[in-house]
Amino acid sequence: MSLTDHDLIARTLADDDRHAFSELVRRHQSAVRAFLRRLTCGQHALADDLAQETLLEAYRHLAKYRGPSGFDTWLLGIAYNRFRSARRRACETVEWTEQIADHAPTTSFTATEDLKQDLAQALMHLSSDEQAAIHLCFAEGLSHQQAADVLGSPLGTVKTHILRAKETLRVQLRAWAPHFSSKGQP
Amino acid sequence: MKPHSDDHSEHPSRPEDNWLDRALQDSASDYIADAGFTAQVMSFLPAPRRKFAWRRPALIGGATVLGCLLAFLLGGSPLTASLRHAFQWVAEESTRPIASSPFNALIITTLVFSGLVSWLALSKAAR
């Protein structure tokens, strides 16, 4: 029987059990890295550095974790704070924008792949708060309330981010709308 | 990708937005293979904390003090008696300026000696 996250956390806290913590890292690394890759617009190296910082911070502050929100939600919250700190350090400078532009996907294959590429590019035009809200609610499947917990924002703000983001995406991807309204599925 | 939450019903999408919702859900990344990431994170963790790190120096220091006292009090053989006399002589000579009696001299010397051994044990344990 596999141990729950709470069991592993308890073992890590009680005995400084490194195997338990490594299992936690192994379980959640994909979600954390994917979230940060989204926020950094596909800069894998930067995202992985931030993910590493996130997990080290989680280890240091594991005793502060309170169960109800879920460990993955707690981790994503730390990841988002790490991302914001990194962005603040970069001061949202030209370099940051240029790095993001350099990593924009360029190749396309099929209609579905084309949509994915266009969507990825359109997502880059959103603010990082909007990107985070969209990723958490659609890709990670979190509820609006959980996303609000992760982002440390009021529920209403998260809903506004999602509405605005979808409005922007709808405009950016308007060429795709007739394609899907006629075919139904991508 | 995790099961999608029903919470989006809080903001029901317009029917013409269904394709956008689906596209956003499909945009979730595939599982990212670990590829050594976990090992790298683990290598950056601080050194494991040692449980009961105080035990060893305390045992060494305590045993040293006890051994000194027992040797001093119970030593009856010619060898221990001569060692005791030698220790007493060293103690009296080295503490003559500050000790008022030979007994005080022995106590001071024993404490200094025990302290020195304990300090050595503690510094070794700290390393």
pLDDT of residue A181: 57
pLDDT of residue B3: 46
Percent of chain B predicted with pLDDT > 90: 8
Tell me the chain A residues in contact with residue B39 when contact means C-beta distances shorter than 8 Å: 22
Q: Cβ atoms within 10 A of the Cβ of A23, count?
A: 19
Q: Once rounded to an integer, what is the mean pLDDT over residues A65-70?
A: 79
Alpha carbons B21 and A175: distance in angstroms, whole number:
16
Q: Once rounded to an integer, what is the mean pLDDT over residues B78-94?
A: 74
When mean pLDDT is compared over A46-55, A104-113, B92-101, the highest value belongs to A46-55
Q: What interface predicted TM-score (ipTM) does this complex get?
A: 0.75
In tens, the pLDDT along B41-81 reads 999 988 876 666 677 777 888 888 878 777 766 666 677 77
Task: Choose between B127 and A2: higher pLDDT.
Answer: A2
In tens, the pLDDT along A10-22 reads 999 988 889 999 9
Secondary structure class of A185 (helix, strand, coil): coil
Tell me the chain B residues in contact with residue A123 when contact means C-beta distances shorter than 8 Å: 27
| C-alpha angle A12-A13-A16 in degrees, rounded to nearest 5 | 55
Average pLDDT score over chain A: 83
> CA of A12: which chain B residue's CA is closest?
B48
Asked whether B33 and A171 are in contact (CB, 8 A), the reply is no
> CA of A44: which chain B residue's CA is closest?
B32
Asked whether A72 and A24 are in contact (CB, 8 A), the reply is no
pLDDT of residue B5: 46
A31-40, A79-88, A162-171, B23-32: segment of lowest average pLDDT: B23-32
Residue at token pair 């019903």: B9
| A6 class by beta-carbon count within 10 Å (0-12 exposed, 13-18 middle, 19+ buried) | exposed
Alpha carbons A182 and A176: distance in angstroms, whole number:
10
Secondary structure class of B106 (helix, strand, coil): helix
Residue A121 predicted with pLDDT over 60: yes
Task: Choose between B120 and B9: higher pLDDT.
Answer: B120
CA–CA distances in Å: residue A95 to residues A117, A118, A166: 23, 23, 27
Average pLDDT score over chain B: 73
Rounded to a whole number of angstroms, the distance from the CA of B7 to the nearest CA of chain A is 5
